[in-house]
Chain A
Amino acid sequence: KNEVEQSPQNLTAQEGEFITINCSYSVGISALHWLQQHPGGGIVSLFMLSSGKKKHGRLIATINIQEKHSSLHITASHPRDSAVYICAVRDSGAQKLVFGQGTRLTINP
C-alpha cells in the first residue's frame, strides 16, 4: 500500500464544473503539499498545509490531520486548469517528500 494515495487517478470534466481531488496518507506528517504540473513542464507549488484550510483564487485546499486526508478543490474550472495535480507529504522529522501518483485533470471547453 502506498503511503500517499490520490483519487481519482484521472478526471475529465466540463468547463465551469467544481472539481475535487482527494489525498489520503498513512504516515505522520509535518506538512502536506499540493503541486501542479502541466504536460512537459516543471512543477508549481500550489499549497503547503499543516492544518485547516487555504484558499488562493479559485483553488481551495483542506486538510484533516486526524483523518489523514486532504482535498484540493477547484471552483469554476477552466481548460487551463488541465494538468497533473500531485499530493506530497513531508514525513515528520524527515527531509524527504513522499509523493502520490498524481491526478490527471482534463477540463474540456
Chain B
Amino acid sequence: DTEVTQTPKHLVMGMTNKKSLKCEQHMGHRAMYWYKQKAKKPPELMFVYSYEKLSINESVPSRFSPECPNSSLLNLHLHALQPEDSALYLCASSHLSGGTGELFFGEGSRLTVL
C-alpha cells in the first residue's frame, strides 16, 4: 500500500463552521506534512509531524489546528476560517522527515470557505 488517503475530497464551509480534514497512510512513514496550495502556485508548507510530534509550524494562523493521533493519521482542524483560506490542502508522508526519503502525496482536499 503506497497510498496517502485524504478525506473529504471537497469541503464547503462557512466562516463560523468547525470542520476537519483527515489524512491516513499505512506505509510506516514517521513524517507527515500538511501543505496549502492556491491555484497555479506551488504548495506551501504548513506543518510537519515527526514521530507524532509537531516539529515545524510555518507560522500558520491558529484557526488551523493540526493533530496527529497516531503514526498513521493526521488531522487538520478548521475553525473560523476566512474566504482567503480557500485552497487545495495536501497531505504528504515520508519515511523520515530529515532524510532523503521519497514523498508521497494525497489527492488533496479542496476547501471552499464562504
A residues contacting B by CB (< 8 A) are 30-31, 33, 35, 40-45, 48, 50, 86, 88, 90, 93-97, 99-102
Contacts and interface: CB of A to CB of B under 8 A. Distances in A.
Contact of A42 (B42, B50, B101, B105): B105
Interface of B: 6, 31, 40-43, 45, 48, 50, 55-56, 90, 92, 97-108, 110
A90 B100 contact: yes
A20 to B, nearest CB: 20
Given A42-B106, A95-B31, A102-B42, A31 B100 contact: yes
What is the interface of chain A mostly: helix, strand, loop, or mixed?
A: strand
Nearest to A99: B42
Contacts of A93: 98
Contacts of B41: 101
